[in-house]
Amino acid sequence: KDPGATISRAYDLVVNGIELGGGSIRIHDAEMQKAVLDLLGIGEKEAQEKFGFLLDALSFGCPPHGGIAFGLDRTVMLMADCESIRDVIAFPKTQTASCLLTAAPASASSKQLHELGIKLSKPKSE
C-alpha cells in the first residue's frame, strides 16, 4: 500500500567503505511484480508487451530466489589502492556510453559483417 514502507531483502559486500557487490531476493510473485510495474507508471498493456514473459513465468509459480553481483573493477580499485574506479576500468565509456577510442557504438561495415559471416536482410514490406 505504501511503497515507502516496503522492506527489501538486499545485501551489499563492503570492504573499507567501498561497495564491491550487492544482491537481493528477487520478486517471485506475479501480483507483486504487477503492482511494482504499476507504481512505476507501466500500464497493463505495456507491462505485457515488455515483461509478459516474466509475468507469465511468475504466474506458474516461482520459488524464492536471489542473486548477487561483484564488480571486478571495484575489487581491482581496492587492491590497487586507487581513489577512483576510472583509474582501473578496462574499457571506460563516456556518460552517454560511447567509447572515445573506438567510436563505439557504431554501425558495422560490410567488411566486418562479411568477416563475421553475418548477412542482413531487408524487412519485407507489408
> Nearest 5 degrees, angle CA 39-CA 45-CA 49?
105
In a domain, 45, yes or no: yes
* Within a domain: 106: no
> What are the backbone angles phi and psi of residue 17, rounded to the nearest 5°?
80, 5
The answer to the question of residue 31 being in a domain is yes
In this predicted structure, the answer to whether residue 12 has a pLDDT above a threshold of 90 is yes
Range of the domain at 34: 3-92
Tell me, yes or no, whether 48 lies in a domain.
Answer: yes
pLDDT at 20 over 70: yes
> Is residue 83 in a domain?
yes
Assign 40 to helix, strand or coil: coil
Structurally, the chain folds into a number of domains equal to 1
**What are 73-126's pLDDT values in tens digits?**
999 999 999 988 888 987 777 888 888 888 888 888 899 999 999 998 888 876
